[in-house]
Amino acid sequence: MPHHPVLLEVLRDRIGQSPGDRLSFADFMELVLYHPEGGYYATKEAVLGLEGDFVTSAHLGHDFGELLAIQFAEMWEHLGRPTPFAVVEMGAGQGLVAADALGTLQNHSPACFAALSYHIVEKSDRLRATQAQRLSPWIERVTWATLEDFPDHSITGCLFSNELVDALPVHQVVVTESGLQEVYVALADHPELALQEVVDALSTPRLADYFAFVDIDLATYAPDYRTEVHLAALDWMKTVATKLHHGYVLTVDYGYPASRYYSRARSQGTLQCYYQHGHHNDPYSHLGHQDITAHVNFTALERQGERCGLETLGATQQGMFLMALGLGDRLSALGQIQASDPATVNLAIQRREQLHQLINPMGLGNFIVLVQGKGLSAPAKILKGLTVPPLM
C-alpha cells in the first residue's frame, strides 16, 4: 500500500527543518503513528480487532475487562472507599475494557460504581468518538482528558494502561567501534521521497544515562548491536507518578526485565511492525498504514516509578494475574456445561478458547502486569491479582 500522502509532505518538511536534515528515530516514530492528519492511530479505520492489524485482550470477549473490574473494586476497598474513586485509563482503544469494567462494577459492586469517576486519556479523535458511542450508557461517569489536565498529586484511585507503553516512541542506538551512536532518519538523494538511516553521535546524554539507570554496560557488547531506548516511557511514568496522590498504577504490556531485554542474543532489538495481521521489521514501509511497536523495558518503568515516588507492589504474567482474579473459576464453569443443543456447546467451546488465549504463555498470557502504588497502608499493598510469586 502506498504511504499516506500527508505523511510524505510532513516528513519532507520536518526533516528539512531539523538540524542536520534528519530526525531521531523517536521523532520519526511519533510522526508516523500520531500525526493528526496522517498518523496510523489518528486516521486508520480499523486499527484494532479481528478486522484490523492486531488483537488485544479486550477483543477476546468481556472477561479481561470484567476481571480488571474485580481488581478495581478491591483497590477501592483498600483505599478506604473514597468518593470520588478515579480510574484513569490511558489509551482506551475502542472503549472495550471501559465498557466491560463499568458494566461489571455497576452490576456487581454498586457502591464502588456510585463512587467511580472514569477518565479516559486518548489522543485520537476517531477513537474518542468510538469510545463515546460505546460508553453512552455510562456517559455521566466518563470524562475525556489529557494527563496534563489533572493537577499534580490530585488522583485518588488507579491509573491503568493496556498495551499503551509499547507504542510510545523509542530512540534506536547502535554499538560501534567508536562507542554508542544513534540512528537517525534522513532523506535519500532521490527525486521521490526515500528514507535512509544515518548513524551518528547521540542526540542527548540521556540515551547513555538510560543504560546506566538499568545496569546495562553496552561497552562490552559486540559492534553492530542495535536496540531501543525508551525515553518517552520514562517521561510518561514520571507524569503518571506525579499525578497520583493516593492509589495505584497498573500497567499491562509485553516486554522484559532489562537483563532479558538487552540480552546479547537480541542483537537487533525488539522493534516490530504490524500490517494486516502480519508482522515484519521495516518501519519505513506502509507509512501511516502500519503499527510500529517495541517491547517494554519493565525494569526502567519500575525504577523510574520508584525515583518518582511510587513503590513497586509486584509484577507477574497476565495469565497468573487473571487466574488469581477468577479466570480459573470461569474455565471450570464452562467445563460443567452439559447442553444438548449444538449452539450452546459451540458457544462454550468458543468462550473457553478465548479464555485460554488470555492466559496462553506463548502469547497474551506472557504479558507483564506491573503494579505500583503511592501512600498505601501495608494491607492495601496486598492485591488479589498479585497473589503469585514476584516476576522481577
> Helix crossing, 63-78 with 342-359: angle to 10°?
60
CB atoms within 10 A of CB 281: 11
**Residues 150-166 pLDDT 10s:** 999 999 999 999 999 99
Q: How far apart are CA 42 and CA 125, in angstroms?
A: 7
What is the predicted pLDDT for the residue at 392? 46
Dihedral sign of CA atoms 151, 156, 162, 165 in order? positive
Q: Write the CA distances from 306 to 71, 151, 301, 333, integer angstroms.
A: 22, 20, 9, 40
Q: What is the pLDDT of residues 23-64, one digit of tens each?
A: 999 999 999 999 988 899 887 544 555 555 556 877 878 999
- H-type helices in 255-341, by residue range? 258-261, 298-307, 318-322, 328-335
Per-residue confidence band for 346, with pLDDT thresholds at 50, 70 and 90: confident
Task: Tell me the sheet residues that pair with 160.
Answer: 89, 250
Are 317 and 367 within 8 A, CB to CB? yes
- Of these ranges, 35-39, 288-292, 308-312, the one predicted with the greatest mean pLDDT is 308-312
Residue 217 has pLDDT above 70, yes or no: yes
Q: For position 328, what pLDDT does the model report?
A: 87
Interior/surface letters 210-220, b for 16+ CB within 10 angstroms, e for the rest: bbebbebebee
